[in-house]
Structure 1
Amino acid sequence: MLRQSSGDRLFQAANTTFLLLLVALILYPLLYIVSASVSDPTYVNSGQMWLFPKGFTLEGYNRVFRNADIWTGYMNSIVYTVGGVALNLAVTLPCAYALSRRNLAGRQAFTLFIVFTMFFSGGLIPTYLLVKSLGLVNTYGALILPSAASAINIIVSRTFFQGNVPQEMEEAAAMDGCSDFRLFMQIILPLSKALIAVMALFYGVGHWNQYFNALIYLSNRELYPLQLFLREILVQQEISAQMLTTGSDLEMDMSEQTRISELIKYAVMIIAALPLLIVFPFVQKHFVQGVMIGSLKQ
C-alpha cells in the first residue's frame, strides 16, 4: 500500500468529518419525527424532547389506524403507485430501447421531439381540458395515464441501452432467428435489471408522493391518495372528529384536542413515509450502477 502524506490524511479527515455532519443533518429530522410520534406532546412542544422519546405513547398511531380515510388513502396510493409504475416501465423501456438502436429510421427526430417536451408543455389549463375530454376526471386513470412516461427517464434509459447493449448481440440473435420482441423480453430486459430497479424507484416515489394532480383532477374522497389526506392534516390543519374523539372522550377539552392533534400529525408523517423507507434499501445497491451508467456513458 502507498504511504499517505500528512496532506492526504488531513484531506481524508476533512472528508470524513464533512460526511458525518451531512449524515447527522439528514438523520436528525427523521429521528426527531419518529421520536415525536411516540412522545407526549407536552415534552415535544416545550423542547424537552429533542432526540429520544419522552413520555412514550402510541395513542397517535392508534387514532390514525382507526381512521377510515387513512386506510382509503393507503389503498389508493398503492393502486396509483403499482399501476403507474407498471405503465411507466411498459412505455419507457421499449421506447428508450428503440431510440438507442442505430437502425431506427428517424430516431434523431423522435429524440428531439421527446427532449422538446422537457422544456415546453401545453400548460395546466390545456392539460386539464384534455384529461376532462378523455373522461378521466374523478377516475384512477387521471393520476396514471397523463404521467405514463417521463422524458428525462426515457433519455437516461436510452443512454443506458446504448452503452450496455452491443449491436453485435442483436445481430447474433437475428442470425439465430430471434424476433425483436423475443430479443427485448428475453435478452435485453434481463441484462437491464439495474436500470429497471432505478426507473421503478424513480417512478414509484413520484406516484407515491404526488398530490397536485389529485388536487386538480379528483373531488371524490374515495379516490384520494394518502398524500391528499396528509395535506389536509399538515397544511390545512383539518383533523377529523373521528380521529380526535372516540366514544369514551366526546367531552374532550380544547387543550386535549390540541395535544392529540400533535400526536396525529407526527404519526401520519411516519405512516406516509414508511413504505418508501422499507423499499429503498432493496434497490439502493442498483442506484449508483443504474444512474451513473445511464447518465454518463455515451
Structure 2
Amino acid sequence: MTTTIARPSTTTAPPPRRKRRPVLVGGMPPPSMAARVLKGIVLTILCAFVVIPFVSVVSTSLADQAQVSQAGGFVLFPDNPSLRAYESLFEGGVVTRAFVVSLVITVVGTLISLACTATLAYALSRPESFGHRPLLLTVLATLLFAPGIIPNYLVIQQVGLLDSYWSLILPVAVNGFNVIVMRAFFMGLPRELMEAARIDGAGEIATLRLIVMPLSKAVFAVIGLFYAVSYWNAFFNALLYLNDATMWPLQLVVRSYVIQNATLSDPLATTAPPPTESIQMAILVLSIVPILLVYPFLQRHFAKGVLTGAVKS
C-alpha cells in the first residue's frame, strides 16, 4: 500500500491591498470636492465685492448726464463712454498742478524716508553701535505713544514750516514700524560679509551701500511702497499746514470735489459740463491709478521683504 504525501501549494495568496493614504497638505488631508467648490464660490463673491465698486467708479466717470441720472448716481456699464470728465479736469489746471505736487512729494518723500530708515535700521542692527538700546527703545516707544495734533502744529509753526511742502515730508519721514522691519531684515544677513568688508577697510557707510543695500532689494521695495502709498494718500497734514489752496496735493483736491461738492464748471462755457458724479469718479480714478501701476512690479517682493523681516527678529 503506497501513501502519498501532499506537498504544500507553491501558490500563495496575494497580500491584502493597503488603502492609499491621502496626501497631506500642511499636515492635513486635502479638502473634498464640495469644500473646494464652496471655497471657490466664496472667493468669487469676495472678488466681486472688490471688483464691482472699482468698475462702477470707472464706468461712472465715462458716463453722460442722462445715464447717470437714470442709474441714480452710479453706472455699471456706460452706453456711450466719453472722456469729457477727464478733459474738464485737466482744462482748469487745478487737478494737473495738484497731481504734479503729489507726485513730487511722493518721490522726494519716499527717497528721504528710505535713506533715513535704512541708516537708522542699519545702526540698530549692529549691537556694538553707540546708544543702540536706548535708541531702539525710543523707536519702539513711537509705536505706542503718538503726539497730538496741537503739539505737532506748534512744532511745525515754531520751525517755520507752515505753507511749505517740507511740512508734509519731514514730520513723517521715519516710521517706527518700517524701521523695525528693516532692522530685522538686516540682522538676518550673513555677518561674515560685513566682517569681510571691515577687514578690507570699508567703513560703515561703505558697508551699508556696497554690501547691505544690494542684498536688501526686497525689503527696500516693500518699505518704499509703504512710504509711497502713505505720502500719496495723505491729505490731513496738507489740510493743517497749507493755507494756500494753490499748493494743495491731489488728495486734498479730491476731498474738496468729492466731499465738499466743489465744481469745475465755467460760467462762460458754451457746452454743457460733465455730470458732477462723473467728475468726482474721474478724479478718484486719477488718484488710484499711479499706485495700481506701481504695485504689480513690487508685489513679488512682499513675501520675502515683510515675512523675512518679521521672522528673523
TM-score, normalized by the shorter chain, greater than 0.5: yes
In the other structure, the counterpart of 2:152 is 127
Which structure 1 residue ranges, 5 or more long, are not aligned? Answer: none
Equivalent pair of 1:232/1:239 in contact (CA under 8 Å):
no
- Pairing partner for 1:208 from 232, 237, 244: 232
Q: 1:114 & 1:153 partners in 2: Cα distance? A: 10
Q: Is 1:27–2:42 an aligned residue pair?
A: no
Q: Give the superposition deviation at 1:53.
A: 2.1
Letter in 1 for 2:194: E
User: Which has the greater radius of gyration?
Assistant: 2
In the other structure, the counterpart of 2:135 is 110
Provide, for residues 227-248 of structure 1, a one-character-per-residue CA deviation record: whole Å limited to 9, x for no partner: 1111110000111333xx5532
- Pairing partner for 2:198 from 169, 174, 177: 174
1:32-71 map, 5 Å: 32-47=56-71, 50-71=75-96
Asked which structure has the greater RCO (Cα within 8 Å, sep 6+), the reply is 1
Provide, for residues 79-127 of structure 1, a one-character-per-residue CA deviation record: whole Å limited to 9, x for no partner: 1101100110010011111111222243222111111111213311111
Q: Give the superposition deviation at 1:55.
A: 2.7
In the other structure, the counterpart of 1:271 is 286
Q: 1:246 & 1:271 partners in 2: Cα distance? A: 26
Letter in 2 for 1:240: L
In the other structure, the counterpart of 1:235 is 259
Q: Give the superposition deviation at 1:20.
A: 2.3
Report the 3-state secondary structure (helix = DSSP H, G, I; strand = E; otherwise coil) of the residue aligned with 2:216.
Answer: helix
Most deviating of 72-81 and 116-125: 116-125
CA-based RMSD of the aligned residues comes to 2.1
Equivalent pair of 2:64/2:275 in contact (CA under 8 Å):
no
Query: Structure 1 pair 6/182, CA: closer, same or farther in 2 (3 Å)?
Result: closer
Most deviating of 195-204 and 3-12: 3-12
- Pairing partner for 1:247 from 242, 260, 269: 269
Provide, for residues 7-26 of structure 1, a one-character-per-residue CA deviation record: whole Å limited to 9, x for no partner: 44444333333322222211
In the other structure, the counterpart of 1:15 is 39
In the other structure, the counterpart of 2:122 is 97
- TM-score between the two structures when normalised by the length of structure 2: 0.86
In the other structure, the counterpart of 1:284 is 299
Query: Structure 1 pair 35/103, CA: closer, same or farther in 2 (3 Å)?
Result: same
Equivalent pair of 2:99/2:249 in contact (CA under 8 Å):
yes
Q: 1:51 & 1:287 partners in 2: Cα distance? A: 33
Which structure 2 residue ranges, 5 or more long, are not aligned? Answer: 1-19, 24-28
Q: 2:30 & 2:197 partners in 1: Cα distance? A: 56
Report the 3-state secondary structure (helix = DSSP H, G, I; strand = E; otherwise coil) of the residue aligned with 1:66.
Answer: helix
- TM-score between the two structures when normalised by the length of structure 1: 0.90
Q: 2:197 & 2:68 partners in 1: Cα distance? A: 64
Query: Structure 1 pair 96/55, CA: closer, same or farther in 2 (3 Å)?
Result: same
Q: Matched residue pairs, number?
A: 288
Q: Percent same amino acid at aligned positions?
A: 35
Query: Structure 1 pair 39/109, CA: closer, same or farther in 2 (3 Å)?
Result: same
Query: Structure 1 pair 167/221, CA: closer, same or farther in 2 (3 Å)?
Result: same
